[in-house]
Structure 1
Amino acid sequence: MMIFLRRQLFFLLILLIKLTESDRKSKRTKEYRPQAPSYEIYRSDYLPSDSQVTTFLLKGELKLLYYLSPIDNGSLSTTIITCSSPVQWSMKLNQNGSTAKPSSKEHNRTFLTEDMTTKNFTAFKELYVLQLTAPESDTYVHIYISTEADGPQALRNSYLQKLRLQKRQKKKRLTIRWEASLVDPQGTDYCLTVSSKKNYKTLCSAQAEKFGVVPPSVTGQALVASQAAINWKPKGRDIEKSAFPLIACVGRKRQYTVPNLKQGQTYYFDLFATNRQSNLTYFFGSTSTKFDSRIKPISLRDGKSVFANLRKFDGKIVFKFKVGKVRGNPLNIFIMPCGALIDAEVSLKGKTIISRERIEKMDHIAIKSPEEGARYHIKTVAVNINREGAGRNSGVEVFATSKSTSKIPLPTMPSQTAVEEIASMRKCNSVTVAWLPSPGEKVGHYCILVKEGKLREEDDYGIPNQCGLESRLKKSVNFDVKCCKDIRHNYTNSVITEKINYLGPGKSYVVQVIVKKPKGKSLAYDLLQVHTTPSCHKY
Structure 2
Amino acid sequence: LSVRWRPRSVSPHAVSYWLVLTPSTPAKSLCSAKIMAGLEANSNIDEEVIKGNITIENLGSRTSSIIKGLKPDHNYTVEVFVVNNLTGLSYRYGTATARYMRTRPLPLRDGRQTDANLRKMDGRATFRYKVPKATPLGGRLEWYVAVCGTGTVVDAEVRHKRRPIIERREIVGYSIITLNNPVPSATYILRINSTEPEMLARITQVQVLATTKGLHEPILPKLTSVHEHKSARSCRSVQLGWYPSSPSPSSNGTNFLTYCITTKEVHKSEMFTPTPDQCAHSLALKNHDYSTNLCFRRTVNKKMITKEVTHLKPWKFYDIQVAVRNGNSKVLSYEKIRVRTKQHCHR
5+ residue gaps, structure 1: 1-168, 174-234, 244-258, 268-288
- The 3-state SS of whatever aligns with 1:240 is coil
Secondary structure of 2:194's partner? strand
Q: How has the CA–CA distance of structure 1 residues 378 and 265 changed in structure 2, closer, same or farther, with 3 Å as cutoff?
A: closer
* Counterpart code for 2:24: E
Aligned in 2, Cα 1:475/1:395: closer, same or farther, shift over 3 Å?
Answer: closer
Contact 2:24-2:75 within 8 A present in 1 as well:
no
1:429-440 matches, within 5 Å, as: 429-440=236-247
Q: Deviations over 1:384-421 (max 9, x none)?
A: 5656994xx71111111112x2xx35344333332222
**Structure with the higher strand share, 1 or 2:** 2
- For residues 84-130 of structure 1, the C-alpha deviation after alignment (integer angstroms, 9 at most, x for no partner) is xxxxxxxxxxxxxxxxxxxxxxxxxxxxxxxxxxxxxxxxxxxxxxx
Instruction: Determine whether 1:397 maps to 2:204.
Output: no
For 2:335, the equivalent position in structure 1 comes to: 526
Q: Does 1:450 align with 2:257?
A: no
Establish whether residue 517 from structure 1 lines up as the match of residue 329 from structure 2: no
TM-score, normalization by structure 1 = 0.43
Report the equivalent of 1:372: 184
Higher relative contact order (CA closer than 8 Å, sequence separation 6+)? 2
SS in 2 for 1:312: coil
Is the contact made by 1:332 and 1:366 (CA closer than 8 Å) also made in structure 2? yes
1:365 CA displacement: 1.4
Unaligned 5+ segments in structure 2 are 5-18, 28-66, 77-97, 248-253
Q: Partner residue of 2:284?
A: 472
Structure having the larger proportion of residues in helix: 1
Matched, 1:240 2:47: no
User: Using a 3 Å threshold, how does the CA distance of structure 1 residues 508 and 457 change in structure 2: closer, same or farther?
Assistant: closer
1:344 aligns with 2:170: no
Task: Say whether residues 1:298 and 2:106 are aligned partners.
Answer: yes
Equivalent runs, 1:357-368 vs 2, <5 Å: 357-368=169-180
Q: Are 1:332 and 2:145 an aligned pair?
A: no
1:519 & 1:382 partners in 2: Cα distance? 30
Aligned partner of residue 373 in structure 1, secondary structure: coil
Q: How does 1:19-418 map to 2 (within 5 A)?
A: 169-170=1-2, 238=22, 240-242=24-26, 263-264=72-73, 293-324=101-132, 325-327=134-136, 328-339=138-149, 340-355=152-167, 357-382=169-194, 386=198, 390=202, 394-403=204-213, 405=214, 408-418=215-225
Alpha-carbon distance change, 505 to 401 in structure 1, aligned in 2, over 3 angstroms: same
Percent of counterpart pairs with the same letter? 32
- Letter of the 2:101 partner, please give it: S
Q: Which amino acid aligns with 1:437?
A: P
Asked whether the equivalents of residues 156 and 168 of structure 2 are also in contact (C-alpha less than 8 Å), the reply is yes
1:241 partner amino acid? T
CA deviations over 1:52-85 (Å, ceiling 9, x no partner): xxxxxxxxxxxxxxxxxxxxxxxxxxxxxxxxxx
Distance change >3 Å, CA 465–CA 495, structure 1 → 2: same
Structure 1 residue 306 displacement after superposition: 0.8
1:431 Cα deviation after fit: 0.9
Counterparts of 2:106 and 2:188 in 1: how far apart (Å)? Answer: 12
With normalisation by structure 2, the TM-score equals 0.64
What displacement does 1:368 show?
A: 1.3
Aligned pair partner of 1:484 in 287, 295, 312: 295
SS in 1 for 2:258: strand
1:456 & 1:364 partners in 2: Cα distance?
Answer: 35
Alignment size in residue pairs: 262
The code of the aligned residue for 2:286 comes to K
d(CA) in 2 for partners of 1:455 and 1:377?
45
Aligned to 2:24, the other structure's residue is in SS state helix
SS in 2 for 1:241: coil
CA distance in 1, matches of 2:189, 2:104: 11
How big is the alpha-carbon RMSD for the aligned residues of Structure 1 and Structure 2? 3.5
Contact map agreement 1:451 1:479 (CA 8 A) in 2: yes
TM-fit CA distance, 1:335: 1.2
CA distance in 1, matches of 2:340, 2:200: 22
Change (3 A) 1:359 1:264: closer
